[in-house]
């Protein structure tokens, strides 16, 4: 088990492999499947193109960071992993993408960028990637690939696919919060191009396991020793908020601060921080009650009719009052 220390949930790329493996819950089979596919791709020299799909907190970065490390540590004789972080993107042309890959490989690019014509830059960058990789295959990890597609015009996206189709030494493992038009629309260059993996939510047992593991990494012995006292509240909250891994970790942090007997307080703190996870907001009946509770908008030149004691607001029904507590 990793040495105790604060678990920085927002930066999985900053954690070591041991910690990432310890905190991986409910994704072990998918990790092994992706790793084995990469292994076969490197042996047969046939590229792979995978897209991991899941909302914020689903564990995409965690899984990609761990897969990157396993390929780097176990397949370095056949593969070169290159990680492109989502927050660093400034790619408007296909040539920008391949230049970033070269930079990630640690290859000099000044002579390539000195070329005046962009087509020449793109082709020279691709040739440099092939020459620098030798007999190895390059696997590029691209977080939030929808942002790259959004920055490029259609011609550049088409050029990107053209290179992927005609080279055997480039694989891509990408992520996105959801399926987006660049891979969904029939007339888009990357339609039906990626093999898609949807990241499911954790079940209740997996959520509890993740909480324990995070507590171990954090060195929170009190939470671990008294976990039985927390379990009923965790199970109740899981039915309300689900098994998004990022949310589960945040719920652990709140519970460890509030204490085992403060389940309601923990829920409302979580709902305040993440309104979209408030189950009442997903309830159509609740949304309709809130809509009806609002005063009607007056037309131009009219005044709202006074209700509930002349304040211009009608009195809430009991269940509507409870919704607003």
Name the region of 212 (left: φ>0; alpha: ψ -120 to 50; beta: rest): alpha
pLDDT at 19 over 70: yes
pLDDT digit string, tens, across residues 163-174: 999 999 999 999
> Angle at which helices 94-105 and 154-166 pack, to 10 degrees?
50
Residue appearing with tokens 């597609």:
149
Q: What percent of the chain has pLDDT over 90?
A: 64
- 3-class state of residue 227 by DSSP: helix
DSSP label at residue 195: E
CB contact set of 26 (below 8 Å; sequence gap of 6+): 200, 202, 203, 206, 210, 243, 245
- 3-class state of residue 126 by DSSP: helix
pTM of the model: 0.81
Angle, vertex CA 191, rays to CA 90 and CA 72, nearest 5: 55
Architecture of the domain delimited by 27-198:
3-Layer(aba) Sandwich (3.40)
pLDDT digit string, tens, across residues 172-223: 999 999 999 999 999 999 999 999 999 999 999 999 999 999 999 999 999 9
- The more confidently predicted of residues 13 and 256 is 256
User: H or E element: which one contains 94?
Assistant: helix 94-105
Task: Give the model's pLDDT for residue 275.
Answer: 60
Report the C-alpha gap between 139 and 105 in whole angstroms. Answer: 11
Angle, vertex CA 170, rays to CA 134 and CA 110, nearest 5: 65
What's phi and psi for 220, nearest 5 deg?
-85, 80
Averaged confidence pLDDT in the chain: 83
Task: Give the model's pLDDT for residue 270.
Answer: 78
- 3-class state of residue 22 by DSSP: helix
Task: Give the model's pLDDT for residue 87.
Answer: 57
End-to-end alpha carbon distance in the chain: 43
Report the C-alpha gap between 90 and 110 in whole angstroms. Answer: 18
* Residue 7: band (very low, low, confident or very high) from pLDDT cuts 50, 70, 90: low
Number of residues that make up the chain = 325
Give mean pLDDT, residues 294-303: 46
pLDDT digit string, tens, across residues 125-134: 999 999 999 9
- The more confidently predicted of residues 174 and 9 is 174
Q: What percent of the chain has pLDDT over 70?
A: 79
Task: Give the model's pLDDT for residue 225.
Answer: 94
Report the C-alpha gap between 265 and 214 in whole angstroms. Answer: 21
- Which tokens is 172 given? 């891509």
pLDDT at 64 over 70: yes
* Residue 325: band (very low, low, confident or very high) from pLDDT cuts 50, 70, 90: very low
């Amino acid at each position: 088990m990793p040495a105790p220390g604060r678990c920085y949930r927002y930066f999985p790329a900053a954690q070591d492999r041991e910690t990432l493996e310890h905190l991986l819950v409910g994704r072990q089979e998918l990790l092994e499947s992706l790793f084995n596919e990469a292994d076969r791709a490197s042996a047969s020299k046939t590229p792979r193109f995978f897209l991991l799909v899941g909302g914020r907190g689903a564990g995409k970065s965690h899984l990609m960071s761990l897969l990157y490390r396993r390929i780097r540590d176990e397949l370095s004789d056949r593969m070169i992993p290159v990680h492109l972080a989502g927050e660093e993107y400034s790619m408007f042309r296909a040539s920008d993408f391949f230049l970033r890959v070269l930079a990630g490989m640690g290859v000099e690019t000044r002579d390539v960028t000195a070329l005046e014509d962009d087509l020449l830059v793109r082709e020279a960058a691709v040739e440099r990637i092939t020459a620098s990789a030798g007999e190895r295959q390059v696997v590029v990890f691209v977080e939030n690939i929808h942002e790259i597609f959004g920055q490029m015009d259609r011609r550049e996206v088409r050029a990107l696919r053209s290179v992927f189709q005609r080279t055997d030494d480039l694989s891509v493992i990408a992520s996105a919060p959801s399926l987006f038009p660049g891979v969904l629309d029939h007339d888009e260059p990357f339609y039906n191009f990626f093999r898609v993996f949807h990241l499911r939510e954790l079940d209740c047992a997996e959520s509890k396991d993740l909480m324990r593991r995070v507590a171990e990494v954090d060195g929170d012995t009190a939470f671990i020793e008294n976990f039985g006292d927390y379990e009923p509240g965790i199970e109740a909250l899981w039915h309300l908020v689900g098994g998004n891994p990022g949310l589960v970790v945040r719920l652990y942090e709140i519970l460890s601060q509030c204490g085992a007997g403060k389940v309601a307080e923990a829920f409302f703190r979580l709902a305040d921080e993440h309104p979209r996870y408030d189950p009442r907001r997903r309830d159509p009946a609740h949304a309709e009650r809130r809509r009806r509770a609002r005063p009607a908008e007056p037309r131009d030149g009219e005044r709202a009719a006074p209700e509930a004691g002349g304040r211009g607001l009608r009195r809430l029904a009991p269940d509507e009052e409870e919704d607003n507590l």
